[in-house]
Chain A
Amino acid sequence: MLYRETGQFKTSYTADMGIFPLRQDRNALLVLLAFAFVGVPLLAHFHIWPFGSEYLLRAILLPFLILSLAAIGVNILIGFCGQISLGSGAFMAVGAYMAYKFGTGMPEIGLPALPVLVSILLGGVCSALVGILFGIPSLRIKGLYLAVATLAAQFFFDWVFLRVAWFTNYAPSGSVSAPELSFFGWVVNEPVERYLLCLMFVTVFALIAKNLVRGNIGRQWMAIRDMDIAAELMGIRPFIAKLSAFAVSSFIVGVAGALWAFVYLGAWEPLAFSIDRSLQLLFMVIIGGLGSILGSFLGAGFILIVPIMLNLIPSELGVPLSTETISHLEFIIFGSLICFLLIKEPHGFARLVTLMKEKLRLWPFPY
């Protein structure tokens, strides 16, 4: 009744090719965006539950947004182009460290410290270049072999940022801290400001990604994913398609890495972008749904929030369990949940949403 396209006629090709052809989808998105951009800051400002607490903004929403962005990047590579990568953590690290280098200047080549926004984007560009380089093996290797091969990037960059002192401005410990977050005079410091900053990045990149994947290049990616030999025979050049997927994906992941370092952590070391981060991102896109932008958000939310909740519940309910037991239980329950979800819905949350929409179109007259 509420969710059906009856009566929505498309009178132009442009309308027919709209990013959200259904009016209901469009409206829902607008409401969501309005809430995220206006509602949350207002609620936070007036300290209204649940957005009044700094904890929710700084420790849940901020990492959620940044990791969603990274998950979108990973999803482009794995979900849309079918190239499994376990090196996403490394691409995040490249984005973070190069953004740091651009943000603090490179006196060796006479480059002054650049504004933060430019450095973050340039960090993404560097990450894209590295992505292309490490994407070259994908022209020959496929599937799980490729996955393990991308681990070479992961471990290599873990090492590079530890060993090459230039990347850390010769800090004795090798840990670096982000420059001041100033955008055209707007200094981002308050949790709400940080939240808004990330939200803007995520919105822009999610829209770009959504547009990319339904356009020419996105269709090439999907053709390669579904069967690369057939795609090649149809005239799609795997060289261009695969490497462009690596480039776009690494760019977004790199920007997310820069945000993770600059906005969330503040100071970081290579361990912040270890293999665990790569696996976490892989989980996000698989649980969320391969080949779905919406799924990236759902997966990021699930993978990020469930462990924190599992950790919180016993102490908040006053169950007398030791921290040790809680942590082990957290592991066990989280692992079981993942197995359960994979068994019940191997295509992830995105598929559940699609099914729900199908049901909703018939509701309440399912005949």
Chain B
Amino acid sequence: MRKLLGTAVLVGLGLATAAPVLAQGEQFIPVLSYRTGAYAVNGVPFANGTLDYLALLNERDGGINGVKISWEECETGYATDKGVECYERLKGKGATGAAYVSPLSTGITFALTEKAPGDKIPLLTLGYGRSESRNGAVFPWNFIAMGSYWTGADVAIQHVAKEMGGFDKLKGKKISLVYHDSPYGKEPIPALEAFAKKYGYTFKGIPVTHPGVEQKSQWLSIRQDRPDYVLLWGWGVMNGTSIKEAAAVAYPRDKMIGIWWSGAEPDVTPAGDGAIGYKALMLQHGPGQFGVHAEIKKNVIDKGKGHGKEDFGQVLYNRGLINSFIGTEAIRTAQAKFGKKPLSGEDVRWGFENLNITEARIKEAGFEGMMKPLKLSCTDHQGADLARVQQWDGKEWKVISDWYTADRAVLDALVAEQSAKYAAEKKITPVDCSKAG
């Protein structure tokens, strides 16, 4: 028995350490995902989209500019320690190590933010993670592309103001935030409080304990409090439960606005008809099939190499596509400077920092209608402040608003304040962006 175990341990360690050298000349991209556990419902479509776009590049173009991509998925189960283990496992694979990592959980992002600078691996956190990491001078390795929770909070308030007929109408109104009681859910609070001061509405945060299966008291308090709007920052089972409880206390669903992580199909389907009228922000894109989907269908799915099934074209699947698109575009950008070969994380970081996805490039890659141009720089690791609002009509998401641009005046002050605090705590000397190449 013991001998058997001993042998097994040795074999296992051998496997873990004597990792087969992946084919030379391939660019390695680790894929951290969660297909099990409480958040699998949302994790699976995202992972499928991420993988299918990488597969498309390999199948159709033979990689990025002819440099083949290889990848490996690692199950984090949304747990921070497992995420760190996955990161350690995958960061050194491939010819040049990991090109970039998408932690796909706010908790894992926080832990990896401490490790990435030492390992020189950029983190791509698409619409999640530390909002203050927009400041590339303090967070050179974090790329919170396309939007932060503070952007989301701003756009949500803008939309509320628009529906009410102007920012002056916000005065004296009540806006509540139902949030997942974790760093993820707490991120928007400083922004919402700052806006409350600016516009004069009363803000109230209502926490929901992980994983959020029981929310009766939260919604009873909303019924008695009758806020004018409810913002929802949930994930996984919490989203569906919130919408159901809102229906159960007859809170109007069209006065609810979710963040882009609370605005996908698995969030509304469990609530059935109760979800009709529910609104959510879009991280630029919504559901639907665009140019890139046709390509994936032709080159990947029809060849039996795809992952997307019923989630093909759903919100989170599409976000996975964009995640891979931005990451690979950064590699492409870096290749222009460092040559068409597998690049190290350090090179790819340069690619992220100088990333400029133009309208033409978006059209060429088949993402037209899903995203707007994105340009990152040393001072701005977010690159875009755009979002729209969509509404669930019982069958599908309908875009109901024009593009909103977040008000950077308030948010930039918050970013500067929080990143300065982080720099002081960690004794980081901010990079001088005027000299960064």
A and B associate:
yes
Asked if B16 contacts A56 (CB within 8 A), the reply is yes
Asked if B12 contacts A269 (CB within 8 A), the reply is no
Interface residues of A in 7-37 (CB under 8 A from B): none
Q: Which residues of A contact B402 (CB under 8 A)?
A: none
For B, the interface residue count at a CB cutoff of 8 angstroms equals 56
Known A174-B183, A331-B36; judge A56-B13 contact (CB<8 A): yes
Task: Tell me how far the C-beta of B191 lies from the nearest C-beta in chain A, rounded to whole angstroms.
Answer: 9
Cβ-based interface call for A217 (8 A): no
**Chain A window 49-88, contacts with chain B (Cβ cutoff 8 Å), 1 for yes, 0 for no:** 1101111101110010000000000000000000000000
Q: Which residues of A contact B33 (CB under 8 A)?
A: 323
**Chain A window 346-367, contacts with chain B (Cβ cutoff 8 Å), 1 for yes, 0 for no:** 0001001100100000000000
Cβ-based interface call for A207 (8 A): no
Q: Which residues of B contact A271 (CB under 8 A)?
A: 79-80, 107, 182, 210
Stretch at the interface among B81-89, B138-146, B330-338: B81-89
Docked CA distance A266–B425 (Å):
13
Q: Which residues of B contact A50 (CB under 8 A)?
A: 13-14, 16-18
Docked CA distance A336–B207 (Å):
37
Q: Which residues of A contact B92 (CB under 8 A)?
A: 53-55
Known A174-B186, A328-B36; judge A309-B16 contact (CB<8 A): yes
Cβ-based interface call for B15 (8 A): yes
Q: Which residues of B contact A317 (CB under 8 A)?
A: 15
Of the candidates B89, B115, B418, which one forms a contact with A55 in the assembled complex, judged by CB atoms under 8 Å apart? B89
Of the candidates B15, B110, B426, which one forms a contact with A312 in the assembled complex, judged by CB atoms under 8 Å apart? B15
Cβ-based interface call for B19 (8 A): yes
Q: Which residues of B contact A270 (CB under 8 A)?
A: 182
Of the candidates A169, A172, A189, which one forms a contact with B186 in the assembled complex, judged by CB atoms under 8 Å apart? A172
Task: Tell me how far the C-beta of A193 lies from the nearest C-beta in chain B, rounded to whole angstroms.
Answer: 12
What bracket does the count of chain A residues touching chain B fall in? 35 or more
Q: Which residues of B contact A189 (CB under 8 A)?
A: 118
Q: Which residues of B contact A266 (CB under 8 A)?
A: 111, 114-115
Asked if B75 contacts A175 (CB within 8 A), the reply is no
Interface residues of B in 10-55 (CB under 8 A from A): 12-20, 33, 35-36, 44, 47
Asked if A309 contacts B8 (CB within 8 A), the reply is yes
Q: Which residues of A contact B16 (CB under 8 A)?
A: 50, 53, 55-56, 60, 308-309, 312, 316
Asked if A162 contacts B81 (CB within 8 A), the reply is no
Cβ-based interface call for B206 (8 A): no
Asked if A173 contacts B106 (CB within 8 A), the reply is yes
Known A55-B89, A316-B19; judge A267-B113 contact (CB<8 A): yes
Of the candidates B13, B36, B181, which one forms a contact with A327 in the assembled complex, judged by CB atoms under 8 Å apart? B36
Chain B residue at smallest Cβ distance from A313: B15
Known A56-B17, A173-B186; judge A324-B80 contact (CB<8 A): no
Cβ-based interface call for B130 (8 A): yes
Q: Which of A315, A316, A331, A353: most chain B Cβ within 10 A?
A: A316
Cβ-based interface call for A179 (8 A): yes
Asked if B187 contacts A173 (CB within 8 A), the reply is yes
**Chain B window 49-65, contacts with chain A (Cβ cutoff 8 Å), 1 for yes, 0 for no:** 00000000000000000
Asked if A267 contacts B77 (CB within 8 A), the reply is no
Asked if B80 contacts A313 (CB within 8 A), the reply is no
Docked CA distance A323–B47 (Å):
10
Q: Which residues of A contact B13 (CB under 8 A)?
A: 50, 56, 60
Asked if B88 contacts A175 (CB within 8 A), the reply is no
Docked CA distance A188–B140 (Å):
22
Asked if A323 contacts B118 (CB within 8 A), the reply is no
Q: Which residues of A contact B80 (CB under 8 A)?
A: 265, 268-269, 271-272
Asked if B36 contacts A178 (CB within 8 A), the reply is no
Asked if B44 contacts A324 (CB within 8 A), the reply is yes
Task: Tell me how far the C-beta of B317 lies from the nearest C-beta in chain A, rounded to whole angstroms.
Answer: 15
Docked CA distance A55–B30 (Å):
15
Of the candidates A178, A265, A269, A327, which one forms a contact with B77 in the assembled complex, judged by CB atoms under 8 Å apart? A327
Cβ-based interface call for B189 (8 A): yes
Asked if A356 contacts B130 (CB within 8 A), the reply is no
Task: Tell me how far the C-beta of B21 lies from the nearest C-beta in chain A, rounded to whole angstroms.
Answer: 13
Task: Tell me how far the C-beta of A341 lies from the nearest C-beta in chain B, rounded to whole angstroms.
Answer: 9
Cβ-based interface call for A276 (8 A): yes
Known A56-B17, A272-B81; judge A311-B111 contact (CB<8 A): no
Chain A residue at smallest Cβ distance from B9: A305
Cβ-based interface call for A177 (8 A): yes
Docked CA distance A345–B2 (Å):
11
Asked if A172 contacts B190 (CB within 8 A), the reply is yes
**Chain A window 320-350, contacts with chain B (Cβ cutoff 8 Å), 1 for yes, 0 for no:** 0011101110010000000000001100010
Asked if A269 contacts B81 (CB within 8 A), the reply is no
Docked CA distance A63–B183 (Å):
23
Task: Tell me how far the C-beta of B411 lies from the nearest C-beta in chain A, rounded to whole angstroms.
Answer: 13
Docked CA distance A276–B5 (Å):
25
Cβ-based interface call for B359 (8 A): no
Asked if B18 contacts A59 (CB within 8 A), the reply is no
Known A189-B118, A264-B84; judge A162-B181 contact (CB<8 A): yes
What are 27 A-B contacts defined by CB distance under 8 Å? A49-B18, A50-B16, A50-B17, A52-B17, A53-B19, A54-B92, A55-B17, A55-B89, A56-B16, A162-B181, A172-B190, A173-B106, A173-B130, A173-B184, A175-B107, A175-B110, A266-B115, A267-B113, A267-B114, A268-B80, A269-B107, A272-B81, A276-B79, A309-B16, A313-B12, A316-B16, A328-B36
Which 6 A-B residue pairings sit nearest by Cβ, starting from the closest? Answer: A266-B114, A309-B12, A59-B88, A173-B183, A324-B35, A267-B110
B interface residues, Cβ below 8 angstroms from A: 1-2, 5, 8-9, 12-20, 33, 35-36, 44, 47, 72-75, 77, 79-81, 84-85, 88-89, 92, 106-107, 110-111, 113-115, 118, 130, 181-184, 186-187, 189-190, 207, 209-210, 418, 425-427
Query: Can you name 14 extra interface pairs (CB under 8 A) apart from A55-B88, A268-B80?
Result: A50-B17, A53-B19, A53-B92, A177-B110, A271-B182, A274-B210, A312-B16, A313-B15, A317-B15, A323-B33, A323-B47, A323-B75, A344-B1, A356-B2
